[in-house]
Amino acid sequence: MKVLVLNGPNLGRLGRRQPDIYGHTSYTELVELCVDWGRELAYDVEVRQTNHEGLLLDWLNEAADEGTPVVLNAGAWTHYSLALYDACAQLSAPLVEVHLSDPAQRPEEFRHTSVVTPHAKAVVVGQGVDGYRQALHSL
Ligand code: DQA
């Protein structure tokens, strides 16, 4: 089974970006880990990252057309993008939301809302990169 692991803005700098919050694993390492974890589950995992919201929407539309399950870390778009809300709403296969940190426990009020959660089969937060493994398992 094909699974898309989609990552939004600034996640390409994983390992270098605020490692105290997001950890030291690089984005390249995250990609390898997700592919390996997927293989153990007989999933054909494809990991993507973009800083361009429209591209993420295109990928979600592709998942909707193909009925592909999605693991999604939409980064900051999680908290305010109504287009992202709509794109997630139309998915027919399972969607699992993942965040490296636990946005609800962070001081910025804006992180306490998610437009993805209403459409998610499961939400994994605060587990660092292992959250992606857990998300793949919960599909
Ligand atoms: C994040 C949490 C978001 O609030 C933040 O904007 C990110 C990363 C996480 O993985 O913890 O970019 O999605």
Q: Are 78 and 84 in contact (CB under 8 A)?
A: yes
Domain boundaries defined on the chain: 2-138
Report whether residue 111 contacts ligand 1, using a CB cutoff of 6 Å: yes
Neighbours of 110 (CB within 10 A): 11
Class for the domain spanning 2-138: alpha beta
Full-model pTM: 0.98
SS (H, E, C) 38-81: HHHCCCEEEEEECCCHHHHHHHHHHHHHHCCCEEEECHHHHHCC
pLDDT value of position 99: 98
Nearest CA to ligand 1 atom 13: 75
User: In angstroms, rounded to a whole number, what is the distance separating the alpha carbons of residues 35 and 44?
Assistant: 7
Catalytic residue among 79, 99, 119, 132: 99
126 alpha carbon – ligand 1 mean position (Å): 10
Kind of pairing, strands 70-73 and 122-125? unpaired
Work out which ligand 1 atom sits closest to the CA atom of 76.
Answer: 6
99 alpha carbon – ligand 1 mean position (Å): 6
pLDDT tens sequence across 65-114: 999 999 999 999 999 999 999 999 999 999 999 999 999 999 999 999 99
Residues 6+ apart with CB under 8 A from 131: 98, 99, 100, 124, 125
71: its two tokens: 């693991």
As a whole number, mean pLDDT of residues 52-65 equals 98
As a whole number, mean pLDDT of residues 40-63 equals 98
Upper half-sphere CA count for residue 75 (Cβ side, 13 Å): 17
User: In angstroms, rounded to a whole number, what is the distance separating the alpha carbons of residues 70 and 91?
Assistant: 9
Q: Quick check: is 99 catalytic?
A: yes
Nearest CA to ligand 1 atom 8: 75
